[in-house]
Amino acid sequence: MSARAELVKNEKNASVELILSEDWLLENGASDNDQNIFDLFEKNDFKQIKLDGKQIGRWDSRLVAFLVHVISLCKKNNIEYRLIDFPKGIDPLLDLAFSVPEHVSPPKGDTTQSFLSYLGNVALYSWAATQRVALFCVKIYEALIRLITKKAVVRKVDIWFEIQDAGVNAFLIVSLICFLVGLILAFVGSIQLKMFGAQIYVSSLVAIAVTRVMGAIMGGVIMAGRTGASYAATLGSMQVNEEIDALKTMGVSPFDFLVLPRVLALSLMMPLLTVYADFMGIMGGAFVGIFMLGLSPEDYFRMTLKALFMKNILIGIVHGTAYGIIIAVCGCYQGINCGRNASAVGKATTAAVVYSIVWMTVATAILTFIFSVIGV
């Protein structure tokens, strides 16, 4: 039977009794009138109460939790209470529960704010964040100078490991995605070009689009999700485990030891990955051109070569290098500034990917503007 509590008022002698009966066990279902009883205590129309536990069957901490609530209400509303015929073992638990006074949290202050103050706070926060990122970049630059002047504490093996991880180990996923992107580009383009009998220009379309920007963008998105996220998670976990503190207290700069190898690796590998992504994109386009549009391989690749301008390839490489630096900085920044718990690592990883992609888009806009101004 489920827990039962009944408040009995004796009008004759104006006494009030709370009679508890049945089994008070966690495994039983919820009781429906607890709240009504608690509300009666708040009304404050009695000053004394007798708590009767004679009819209680089996019990566990559910009974104790109920009694703690009732006794707290009695204390709060200055109601005198008496416990009668409760099972043995209840008293020590109540003593233990009330042995340490309740902690009172300091008031958190007024958290509501007007739209204008919200806007002001956002602006201040953004400015402070920009300063932090700028300082972070300056520290990376200083670490690079230390590396060149051979004053940086960095292990060559770490740099090679990061280069391998950001380079060769990413080949498979870059191959797959960029091949498919080239394929999609060619397929979508061919639908329009077919209408004019100009399918052969699919090769030029794919070659120009992929080399100028698409190869770099796809490579960047893949590396943001793959390597940038991994940097944030690795450095974030090191922050949680106090490994970064250990480096600092040993006099080793985490920028030399952790950030620099990653930034170097990604900024060196991204241009190479971009060229490789371009190649795989062209292969994807060729797959559609040759097997679906019926073009001969000779014609397809001849037209592709005609559309391959060194200018476009270099623009793609510049984009790729910029993306590499952005992804590495975002990943390392979020990791180094991660909080000290598991959920903070998750947030840092998400932020690393989101900021990488946002800043890649901004960088693309800026580079496109610059290239159009200088006429390339």
Residues that bind other proteins (CB under 8 A): 26-31, 34-35, 60-62, 64-66, 68-69, 89, 92-93, 96-105, 339-344
Rounded to the nearest whole angstrom, what is the least distance from the CB of residue 128 to other proteins in the complex?
22
Residue closer to other proteins (CB basis): 190 or 239 = 239
Residue closer to other proteins (CB basis): 34 or 158 = 34
Rounded to the nearest whole angstrom, what is the least distance from the CB of residue 229 to other proteins in the complex?
19
Rounded to the nearest whole angstrom, what is the least distance from the CB of residue 20 to other proteins in the complex?
14
**2 Rama class: left (phi>0) / alpha (psi -120 to 50) / beta:** beta
Residue closer to other proteins (CB basis): 11 or 102 = 102
Judged by DSSP in three states, 91 sits in helix
Instruction: Name beta bridge partners: 6.
Output: 19
Rounded to the nearest whole angstrom, what is the least distance from the CB of residue 73 to other proteins in the complex?
11
Residue closer to other proteins (CB basis): 97 or 314 = 97
Rounded to the nearest whole angstrom, what is the least distance from the CB of residue 79 to other proteins in the complex?
18
How far apart are the C-alpha atoms of 334 and 235, rounded to whole Å? 8
Instruction: Name beta bridge partners: 52.
Output: 19, 84
Angle at the Cα of 144 (from 260 to 250), degrees rounded to 5?
Answer: 60
Residue closer to other proteins (CB basis): 60 or 80 = 60
Residue closer to other proteins (CB basis): 102 or 298 = 102
- H-assigned helices in the chain: 34-43, 61-76, 90-97, 115-148, 156-166, 171-194, 202-209, 215-223, 229-240, 243-249, 254, 260-291, 297-307, 310-336, 342-373
Cα separation values, 371 from 16, 319, 327, Å: 87, 11, 22
Angle between helices 171-194 and 260-291 (to 10 degrees): 40
Rounded to the nearest whole angstrom, what is the least distance from the CB of residue 136 to other proteins in the complex?
23
